[in-house]
Amino acid sequence: MVTDEALFPQKAARTSPDSQATGSSAQSGGAIIQVRGLTNRFGRQLVHDKLDLDVHRGEILGVIGGSGSGKSVLLRSIVGLQTPAAGSVRILGTDLLQLAPERRAPLEQRFGVLFQRGALFSSLTVVENIALPLIENAGLTRADAEHLAIVKLALAGLPANAAAKYPSSLSGGMIKRAGLARALALDPDILFLDEPTAGLDPIGAAEFDELILTLRDALGLTVFIVTHDLDTLYTICDRVAVLSQKRVLAAGPLETVEAVEDEWVQEYFHGPRGRAASHAAEMGGTMGGAKEIRR
């Protein structure tokens, strides 16, 4: 029998969940990510101005906003790829940016990121891409890492014959799944997804959404999704955060956020595409589908 320990050696090795490195807020089941007073600028362009946001443990949070509102920069700030001009980001109770670079690795291994284009190494096969973090970060042998990579591949819904393929021979949907498998390689607590359904056809997008929901439930993940996809919001997100005017304009359940009196919010949710997604979700609910799967 394949045990949880065999599949997720790192998780098994964490004797006390959220011990010193993670602090009390994570332990209390409250905010697993706390962004406070975040300010980001590029030259004279102010992207975020004292932005605050909480991400709750176990939720799927959808982050939306107009093009250029700073969604990807927010994601990059949280995962430590963007150094803000001011403010703090506590993730699992620890301010990543306050840690010396050599002390960041254990915390960084507790979250996985799926970037827009998968960010796979083109010179490596799919299985080698997924095995790489297991070799480099978890110290597994190549053979063990590739065994575990096959499990992650299946978890992300890829057929076994995808393992030996190179990214260039994969479809867009398969690249997303391979990127997802790699993001899951180190058994993260938090999954960050940057526009995961962009470029997928509606069926592929719906399948990917359902996969994220299944993985969240099965693995107890917290999921932070930057998205433009209304169907994703209606079918899998527990809460939605709207970025506007350099801050989080509103954050809460979809029903609350879509009622916010703001021109962009109203057009987004109640324009033709918003109405269609809402209607589709309601139909899904009637038929035991989309709405049903939302918690």
Binding mask 12-51 for ligand ATP (x = CB under 6 A): ------------------------------x----x----
Shorter beta-carbon distance to ligand ATP: residue 132 or 251: 251
Range in contact with ligand ATP (rule: CB under 6 A) among 9-17, 66-74, 153-161, 255-263:
66-74
Q: How far is the CB of 48 from ligand ATP (least distance, A)?
A: 9
Helix axes 172-183, 142-155, angle to 10 degrees: 120
Shorter beta-carbon distance to ligand ATP: residue 66 or 289: 66
Range in contact with ligand ATP (rule: CB under 6 A) among 64-72, 147-155, 230-238, 278-286:
64-72
Q: Is 65 in the site for ligand ATP (CB under 6 A)?
A: yes
Number of H helices, E strands in the chain: 14, 10
DSSP at 259: T
Query: 163: burial class by Cβ within 10 Å (0-12, 13-18, 19+)?
Result: buried
Q: How far is the CB of 280 from ligand ATP (least distance, A)?
A: 22
Closest CA to 105 of 131, 77, 139: 139
Contact 109, 10 (CB under 8 A): yes
Range in contact with ligand ATP (rule: CB under 6 A) among 13-21, 61-69, 100-108, 282-290:
61-69
Backbone angles phi, psi at 62, to 5 degrees: -95, 125
Q: Is 188 in the site for ligand ATP (CB under 6 A)?
A: no
* CA pair distance 96, 78, nearest whole angstrom: 8
Range in contact with ligand ATP (rule: CB under 6 A) among 3-11, 26-34, 68-76, 184-192:
68-76
DSSP at 221: -
Residue of 53, 57, 71, 94 interacting with ligand ATP (CB under 6 A): 71
Q: How far is the CB of 147 from ligand ATP (least distance, A)?
A: 36
Q: Is 90 helix (H, G, I), strand (E, B) or coil?
A: strand
Residue of 29, 68, 202, 253 interacting with ligand ATP (CB under 6 A): 68
Range in contact with ligand ATP (rule: CB under 6 A) among 71-79, 141-149, 211-219, 276-284:
71-79
Closest CA to 175 of 190, 158, 187, 154: 158
Cα distances (angstroms) measured from residue 26 to each of 1, 8, 189? 32, 20, 11
Shorter beta-carbon distance to ligand ATP: residue 71 or 216: 71
Give kind and range of the element (H or E) at residue 144.
helix 142-155
